[in-house]
Amino acid sequence: MGRQGRFSHSLDVLPTTGFCAGTHSAEGFWRTGSLLSLMVPVRLGGSGSTGERRATGPLQTTTYSVKRRCYLRYVLGGAYGNRWSRPPARPIREEKMSPKKILIIGGYGSVGRGIAERLCRQVPQQIVIAGRNLRKAEKLAGELGPQIEPTVLDVSNIAASQSVLQGVGIVVMCLDSNNVEVARQCVRRGIHYVDISADYSTLSQIEELRNQAEGTGTTAVLSVGLSPGITNLMAKHCKSRVPDITSVDIDILLGMGDSHGEAAIRWTLENAITQFAVHTPGGAVTVQSLSNGKKTTFPGVIGTRTTYRFNFSDQYVLPHTLGLSTVNTRLCFDSAFATGLFVTIRKTGLGWLLASRGSQDFLIKLLQRVRFGSDEFILKTEGWNDRPQYECSLTGTGEGNATGTVAAWVTRQLLESPRPPGVFHIEQLFDLKDFLNRPEARNLKFEESTSR
């Protein structure tokens, strides 16, 4: 690394030599703008497969009927005298635009509740919160007021609850169900879809609905949250800063003092002992979770920690969406002891302790009650070619809460401005600066440095 220097609000031009570093609160930082942000081409506009075209706006769906197109041709035909130059048989009836509801599945869970609270303050639409326990849904509705509507829904039996999708404009999925029937129903009905799952086996099945989503004018956004989510946007940002990077390392630090929901802890325990295949220049390579430790220096007082490979979905997605040869995601906890304990359990063949349902239930209760360490999280991404080129990090508190902030932001974006139809990962529709510019991101600290 070369010379070090600090700068503020001057990121438009990168130095070609030496080292530069910036530390910023997220708010206002991006207003200076980055001239290098990566533009991912997207197809605008949707085409209906059934003789209709659907245009989506702020929670409104307007169907432009064939008759309406006839009318347009009639008006234009007056000038050109073609066969459409006669009035349509009946006057065109304007479709009534009705505001549609937002359905949050897992809406009273740790992340879902945060999304509901935010959207309640930010949008006028009715918000339906769903889960398998009506009492819990009603309790949250009672706390948040009449804009919230409680309902019962079990995603493993969506056929029994089809009516819950009636009048819904957007669904936010807040659990890893490994069941894509809800996504399939949404795509079939033209209901926009947001998913916070970190589980690639589920996300890959939803990706396959792409053509159908284009046909019905549905926008599905996957990889919404912190990781996947903000890490995807940070990797995209690395590539926009230094376009010739070929790989990205993502390091995630989670606070053991944070309050994590049951599903999130279970996902972590289940994935602590898995093997997974990642994309490399030489083809797919199988990696063991909690192996292949790497020393990494996090910003602030945390300093240097060893992070270990973990089965986050961003490492499957980003090679395809950003054209990278490989992405390596690693995890550690703020407590080096806790990280070491997990690694030791895996190494000593006691992984079954993390795999069995009974011991998971016990550990979830234990980890939700006994908290040690802080509630801080840090996401760090480092872009490489033959050597490290650029790194950036985002520090905040309350991982579940921050996931909710990102999901609420994406949901609002879908409501406020039409996005192209199809199935996308977050980085295919959004930029990091779009998020960091928002007032709700003001408590996050973004830092970056470059060596060229």
169 counts as binding ligand NAP under rule CB under 6 A: no
One DSSP character per residue, 120-163 reads HHH--S-EEEEES-HHHHHHHHHHH-TTEEEEE--GGGGGGGGG
234 counts as binding ligand NAP under rule CB under 6 A: no
Please identify which residue in 175, 235, 256, 392 interacts with ligand NAP, judged by CB under 6 A: 175
Q: Shortest distance, CB of residue 103 to ligand NAP, whole angstroms?
A: 11
Q: Shortest distance, CB of residue 89 to ligand NAP, whole angstroms?
A: 47
**Which residues from 69-128 bind ligand NAP, rule CB under 6 A?**
105-106, 108-112
Tokens of 34: 């980055």
331 and 269 in contact (C-beta within 8 Å)?
no
Nearest one of 237, 240, 255, 253 to 435, comparing CA atoms: 237
Tokens of 370: 């006994």
Interatomic CA distance for residues 61 and 64, integer angstroms = 10
150 counts as binding ligand NAP under rule CB under 6 A: no
Task: Let me know how many helices (H) and strands (E) the chain has, helices first.
Answer: 14, 19
Count of beta carbons in the 10 Å neighbourhood of residue 356: 12
The residues, ordered by sequence, that sit 6+ positions from 320 with a Cβ below 8 Å of its Cβ are: none
Return the bridge partners of 284, or none: 279
203 counts as binding ligand NAP under rule CB under 6 A: no
Place of tokens 């490979």: 309
Please identify which residue in 132, 347, 365, 452 interacts with ligand NAP, judged by CB under 6 A: 132
- Closest to ligand NAP by CB, 242 vs 331, is 331
Q: Shortest distance, CB of residue 260 to ligand NAP, whole angstroms?
A: 6
**Which residues from 335-364 bind ligand NAP, rule CB under 6 A?**
none
- Closest to ligand NAP by CB, 56 vs 401, is 401
Please identify which residue in 59, 233, 263, 423 interacts with ligand NAP, judged by CB under 6 A: 263
Please identify which residue in 98, 133, 385, 417 interacts with ligand NAP, judged by CB under 6 A: 133
Please identify which residue in 185, 216, 218, 227 interacts with ligand NAP, judged by CB under 6 A: 227
Count of beta carbons in the 10 Å neighbourhood of residue 291: 14
**Which residues from 381-440 bind ligand NAP, rule CB under 6 A?**
400, 403
| Stretch of 52-60, 226-234, 235-243, 436-444 lying at the interface with ligand NAP (CB under 6 A) | 226-234
Strand-by-strand arrangement of the 294-298 sheet: 19-25, 445-451, 388-397, 376-384, 247-254, 326-333, 303-309, 294-298
| Stretch of 61-69, 89-97, 171-179, 411-419 lying at the interface with ligand NAP (CB under 6 A) | 171-179
Please give the residue ranges that form the binding site for ligand NAP (CB under 6 A): 105-106, 108-112, 131-133, 136, 153-156, 174-177, 196-198, 225-229, 260-264, 267, 400, 403
